[in-house]
Chains A and B, each alone.
Chain A
Amino acid sequence: MNPRIGFVLVAGTFAALLPLMAQKGPDPKTPPARTANAQPAHEDDSAQGQRVFNQNCARCHDAPQGFPPQISGTVLRHMRVRANLSASDEKALLHFMNP
């Protein structure tokens, strides 16, 4: 690849992304968006789920900007292994993502 062409490609891509920068960004420690029909969770459960999320997920990566509820269990099972979640933490996090 010609270096000039490469530079133009990279610069063009960055320029195309400029409008995105004007939009609101996510809070990195805000958990994933919940489903539209979700009911508010019990305060204690919600707080515990938030704590588990911050201590186990957000320490490594930003929260996904929402995902369909039908994969929340799969996401959690992946995180159980990756973050060595305890059974109680797993339960709290699942309840938090699907109150």
Chain B
Amino acid sequence: MFHPRSPQRELSLRTCIRILTGATLLALVHAIAAQDVPLISGGTGLITSTKGGNTTYLPVISPLLAAPVGSHILVESRATIVDSFFPKGGGQPGYAHDLFLGLDFLQADITANRHMTIVAGQFLTPFGTYNERLTPIWISNFEEAPLIFGLGTMGTSHSVGGMLRGSAASTKDFNLDYAAYFSAASTNEQFNAERSAGGRASLYIPAAHLEFGTSFNRLLQGTRENFSGIHLWWEPANSSLRLRSEFARAAHARGYWIETGYRLDRFGGGHGILSRFEPLFRIQQTFRSQPDANDALPSTDTKQADFGLDFHMPHELRINTSYSREFSSSGNRNIWQTGLIYRFLIPTWRGK
């Protein structure tokens, strides 16, 4: 997902192609099982964002490659390529544009045993739920990440190093999963990351459709700082209501977001037009105690209410729309956003 509030790294197209081609070729030289053909997935779409009367157009494509190597290794990578068309400003007519290519992750997943997977490479920093679960453009309900997205994700939202993760215990009554990582500092243009360590633990209770968890990350360079957070997801039984929430705090700022959605699949017989709508509401708030130019949070205490209406169409298409009102001491403003997203999922070849 493109995050207007998070820093983007410019990555040469040639480097991206080399990396993804290398991963594909690596998979090609190994014999694969009939169900393990490498795949290309992802989403593409057109996003519009109007803030304070200025509209930005964002054609975006976010491809994901997953290529098994043998029976215990999976190489996967996701990139985001977005071209931003925005008003020139300064009284000049017309639009300027910027092309960005960012590598979200490039990682090798090594299955160690039934409870552990070793992840090596560049991976999404495990903190809270949004970064790992909801950033793909074909998944996110709102086009813009929560205001607190920069807390705990170490600026770049990804890390370079190693991670252990898996399901520590799983029964019919509960599932306890974990992720622990260490990241080295890297100033490489393609793999930019900060030295940090941390992890997350989550407990899911199937009977209550309830998940809650906690995250802790520590920045190990520059101004050393701890980040902590909790998350809670709940889907009431026999209901189409979804509730997702996160709270995160650091020494210089803290905040939360709560998102609710209700899929109208109980209306219109389950297959009518009405059943494909999903009204959404997200409330979020940030509190700043010290300035920090690197966390991407608003510079003053801010409240924001987001009202969304998504439409899930056949053929892997969806339309996201939202109106947001932001309140802060530096001024209030309206934010209008739309997104037309197509999701694709294809094998790289026909296989056996």
Binding site for B on A (CB under 8 A): 1-3, 6, 10, 13-14, 17, 20-28, 51, 55, 59-62, 64-65, 67-75, 77-78, 80-82, 84-89, 94, 98
Q: Are A69 and B345 in contact (CB under 8 A)?
A: no
With known contacts A64-B316, A72-B35, A74-B74, A28–B57 Cβ distance under 8 A: no
Q: Mark B328-344, 1 if CB is under 8 A from A, else 0.
A: 00000000001010010
Contact partner of B235 among A6, A59, A68, CB < 8 A? A59
With known contacts A25-B312, A81-B109, A69–B35 Cβ distance under 8 A: yes
Q: List 25 A-B contacts (CB under 8 A).
A: A3-B55, A6-B85, A17-B319, A21-B276, A23-B313, A27-B270, A28-B265, A28-B312, A55-B206, A59-B235, A59-B242, A62-B312, A68-B347, A71-B35, A71-B37, A71-B39, A73-B33, A73-B36, A73-B68, A74-B37, A81-B109, A81-B165, A82-B132, A86-B166, A88-B170
Give residues 298-352 of B contacting A (CB, 8 Å): 311-317, 319, 338, 340, 343, 345-347, 350-352
Alpha-carbon separation in the docked complex, A3 to B88 (Å): 12
Alpha-carbon separation in the docked complex, A95 to B87 (Å): 52
Q: Which residue of A lies closest to B349 (CB)?
A: A70
Is B273 on the interface with A (CB-CB < 8 A)?
Answer: yes
Binding site for A on B (CB under 8 A): 33-39, 46, 48, 55, 57, 66-68, 74, 76, 85, 94-95, 97, 109, 111, 114-115, 117, 119, 132-134, 136, 138-139, 165-167, 170, 175, 177-179, 202, 204, 206, 211, 233, 235, 242, 263, 265, 270-271, 273, 275-276, 311-317, 319, 338, 340, 343, 345-347, 350-352
Q: Are B167 and A84 in contact (CB under 8 A)?
A: yes
Alpha-carbon separation in the docked complex, A25 to B270 (Å): 9
Nearest-neighbour CB distance to chain B for A73, whole angstroms, equals: 3
Alpha-carbon separation in the docked complex, A24 to B265 (Å): 12
Interface of B (DSSP majority class) = strand
CB neighbours of B235 from chain A (8 A): 59
Q: Are B34 and A70 in contact (CB under 8 A)?
A: yes
